[in-house]
């Protein structure tokens, strides 16, 4: 049985995330924070409603993960969080931090004890609508219900953000959006990647140019932009160095993307690897020259990690990480949607084909440990 809330000690620094349903970017960020707490000798615990992945197995130290395990209804969740925050406050422990905007919403509805907030994505980033999607014509009653629900959500989220002891986010763009929506300024602390920048020049084959995309295969990741861009570059007739694209990851759009690749005639130049192990992913990083990230996202930590590996980067200007990646030949920032991404990719293919490209110094990049130390200091833990 998972530890109950009573397992939280008065000295524990508590990090709350509503649910753990798959091991992804935010889970890695939470482990980074807890790793630094462990390094500083500060007792800590991760709190959640439900842990479906066994988060502790991903830590290299004995990580305490406590589940509130409320009944499967919204009110039970809110009350369980409310009671737990009260209990932490009554014990006089460090003020806990709640991760993500759903936590702000829940805290705004029910919390009456101190808490900090860290919000990496706003609702505008969490709700993806395909550009070509047709609007859904809902019945009037449903429209009214949806409007009322969104109004309650907005008011509760605003209340949660306003009441937070500290508010932290990843980028200036997110800070500005939350200030406009909720009237509260956030502290911006840029995330660092996992690992460290490579020393020396990478040992890679000079041809073909190996391109890499790593993500869940779903519409919001815009993997179709990559395929369309490569087809457009080939159709343009402009001389281009030979290339091969590696797509790592699984998801609901896997079959559709493979069909699109075939229809564009990209053939064996595109390799779909599916879900890959950590060892296989590292091998792909080691052989690849350019990392591709066309998605709109609050930050985009994989971009930092690709640069650590001395891979060039093509990234959408709708990815928050571009705030710290301007004015470097290692990065091509795509502006102007899908067509802009094709232009940026073509530009980067020309850059990396030049002798000596990968011997250039990397730009200054944030590090995992420095982010965690700054975060802990800001929350006064």
* Residue 242, both tokens: 């030979």
Please determine, for residue 298, whether its predicted confidence score (pLDDT) is greater than 90: no
Confidence of residue 14 (pLDDT cuts 50, 70, 90): very high
pLDDT of residue 128: 46
pLDDT of residue 6: 78
C-alpha span between 353 and 331 (Å, rounded)? 14
C-alpha span between 99 and 46 (Å, rounded)? 11
pLDDT of residue 237: 84
Please determine, for residue 213, whether its predicted confidence score (pLDDT) is greater than 90: yes
Q: Which domains does the chain have, with CATH numbers?
A: 5-192+369-378 (3.40.50.2000), 209-359 (3.40.50.2000)
Task: State pLDDT tens for residues 18-40.
Answer: 999 989 889 999 999 999 999 99
Mean pLDDT of 213-229: 95
* Residue 195, both tokens: 């690992």
Helices (runs of H) and strands (runs of E) counted in the chain: 12, 15
Query: Which of 289, 287, 130, 301 lies closest to 215 in space, CA to CA?
Result: 301
The torsion angles phi and psi of 148, rounded to 5 degrees, stand at -65, -40
What is the per-residue DSSP string for 91-135?
Answer: TT-PPPEEESHHHHHHHHHH--S--EEE-S--HHHHS---TTPPP
Task: State pLDDT tens for residues 71-97.
Answer: 988 899 999 999 999 999 999 999 999
Looking at the chain, the whole-number percentage of residues with pLDDT higher than 70 is 93
CA Rg value for the chain: 22
pLDDT of residue 195: 85
Sign of the dihedral defined by the CA atoms of residues 124, 125, 129, 131, in that order: positive
pLDDT of residue 1: 59
C-alpha span between 24 and 332 (Å, rounded)? 25
Please determine, for residue 377, whether its predicted confidence score (pLDDT) is greater than 90: yes
Please determine, for residue 129, whether its predicted confidence score (pLDDT) is greater than 50: no
Confidence of residue 153 (pLDDT cuts 50, 70, 90): confident
pLDDT of residue 142: 65
pLDDT of residue 134: 47
SS3 195: coil
pLDDT of residue 178: 93
pLDDT of residue 209: 97
Confidence of residue 201 (pLDDT cuts 50, 70, 90): confident
- Cβ contacts of residue 236 below 8 Å, gap of 6+? 346
Query: Which of 24, 3, 22 lies closest to 14 in space, CA to CA?
Result: 3
C-alpha span between 319 and 300 (Å, rounded)? 6
CB 109 within 8 A of CB 158: no
Buried b (16+ CB within 10 A) or exposed e, 319-331: bbbbebbeebebb
Task: State pLDDT tens for residues 272-295.
Answer: 999 999 899 999 999 999 999 999
Looking at the chain, the whole-number percentage of residues with pLDDT higher than 90 is 79
* Residue 305, both tokens: 């990690």
- Cα angle at 219 between 119 and 124, to 5 degrees? 30
Query: Which of 286, 284, 216, 278 lies closest to 253 in space, CA to CA?
Result: 216
The torsion angles phi and psi of 214, rounded to 5 degrees, stand at -130, 110
For the chain, report the end-to-end CA distance as a whole number of angstroms.
Answer: 30
pLDDT of residue 138: 56
- Cα angle at 380 between 197 and 126, to 5 degrees? 60
Please determine, for residue 68, whether its predicted confidence score (pLDDT) is greater than 90: yes
pTM for the full model? 0.86
């Amino acid at each position: 049985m998972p530890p109950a809330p009573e397992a939280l000690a008065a000295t524990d620094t508590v990090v709350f995330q509503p649910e753990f349903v798959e091991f992804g970017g935010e889970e890695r960020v939470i482990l980074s924070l807890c790793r630094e707490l462990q390094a500083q000798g500060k007792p800590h615990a991760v709190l959640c409603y439900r842990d479906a992945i066994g988060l502790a197995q991903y830590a290299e130290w004995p990580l305490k993960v406590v589940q509130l395990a409320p009944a499967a209804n919204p009110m039970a969740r809110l009350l369980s969080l409310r009671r737990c925050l009260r209990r932490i406050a009554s014990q006089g422990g460090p003020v806990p931090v709640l991760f993500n905007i759903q936590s702000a919403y829940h805290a705004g509805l029910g919390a009456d004890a101190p808490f900090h907030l860290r919000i990496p994505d706003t609702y505008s980033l969490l709700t993806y609508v395909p550009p070509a999607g047709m609007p859904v014509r809902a019945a009037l009653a449903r429209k009214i219900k949806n409007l009322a629900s969104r109004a309650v959500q907005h008011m509760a989220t605003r209340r949660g953000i306003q009441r937070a002891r500290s508010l932290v986010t990843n980028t200036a763009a997110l800070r500005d959006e939350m200030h406009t929506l909720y009237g509260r300024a956030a502290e911006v602390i840029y995330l660092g990647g996992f690992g460290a920048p490579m020393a020396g020049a990478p040992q890679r084959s000079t041809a073909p140019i190996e391109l890499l995309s790593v993500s869940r295969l779903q519409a919001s990741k815009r993997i179709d932009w990559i395929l369309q861009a490569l087809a457009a570059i080939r159709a343009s007739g402009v001389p281009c160095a030979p290339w091969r694209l590696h797509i790592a990851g699984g998801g609901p759009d896997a079959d559709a993307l493979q069909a699109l690749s075939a229809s564009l005639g990209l053939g064996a130049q595109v390799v779909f690897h599916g879900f890959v192990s950590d060892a296989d992913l590292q091998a792909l990083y080691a052989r690849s020259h350019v990392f591709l990230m066309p998605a709109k996202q609050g930050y985009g930590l994989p971009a930092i990690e690709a640069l650590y590996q001395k891979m060039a980067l093509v990234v959408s200007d709708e990815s928050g990480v571009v705030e710290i990646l301007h004015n470097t030949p290692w990065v091509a920032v795509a502006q102007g949607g899908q067509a802009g991404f094709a232009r940026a990719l073509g530009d980067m293919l020309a850059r990396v084909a030049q002798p000596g490209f990968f011997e250039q110094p990397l730009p200054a990049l944030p590090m995992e440990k420095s982010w965690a130390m700054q975060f802990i200091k800001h929350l006064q833990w």
